[in-house]
Amino acid sequence: MKIKMISMLALTIVLTSCSSTKKTSTENSKDSMVAQETSNTTSNTAVINNNRTTLNNETSTARKSSNSTNEYAPMYSSLEMTDEQIRKFSTAMDQFKGKQANMASGEMLGTIENERTRQLETILSSSQLAKYEKWLMDNQ
């Protein structure tokens, strides 16, 4: 009878310990799944935010290009510039303005007017350049 009682007690202890181990591993598994879902959500949020940033940068670049086109529109028509010349000039000026804004001593690059003249000298034909010089005197 004592042996049966000891055996039952030992069996109960073993089963109880196995049951609590199973609960602990189940809880750890649930915690792991929650942590992974949180990680996936964070990762997806980062991708969405990155896509928004990219879209905002592209929109900002388009606006800058559009602003520079509008800013120089009277000059473009006076000089009878082609679409290709306008595109080259706008791109060069946007790059210059970006460089100037991002440098601590951006003024060392020169003025926008000097850069405009330098760029137009490389882009315009000789007849257009003569028109530019006349336009420059009339508009300064």
Q: Does residue 82 have a pLDDT over 80?
A: yes
Torsion of CA 7, 8, 13, 16, to 10 degrees: 140
* Euclidean distance between CA atoms 41 and 35, whole angstroms: 10
DSSP secondary structure code for residue 107 in this structure = G
pLDDT value, residue 45: 52
Predicted pLDDT at 113: 87
Say which residue the tokens 């010349």 belong to: 85
129: tokens are 């350049």
Query: pTM for this structure?
Result: 0.49
Note the pLDDT of residue 100: 80
pLDDT in tens, 88-138: 999 999 998 888 877 776 566 778 888 889 999 999 999 999 999 999 898
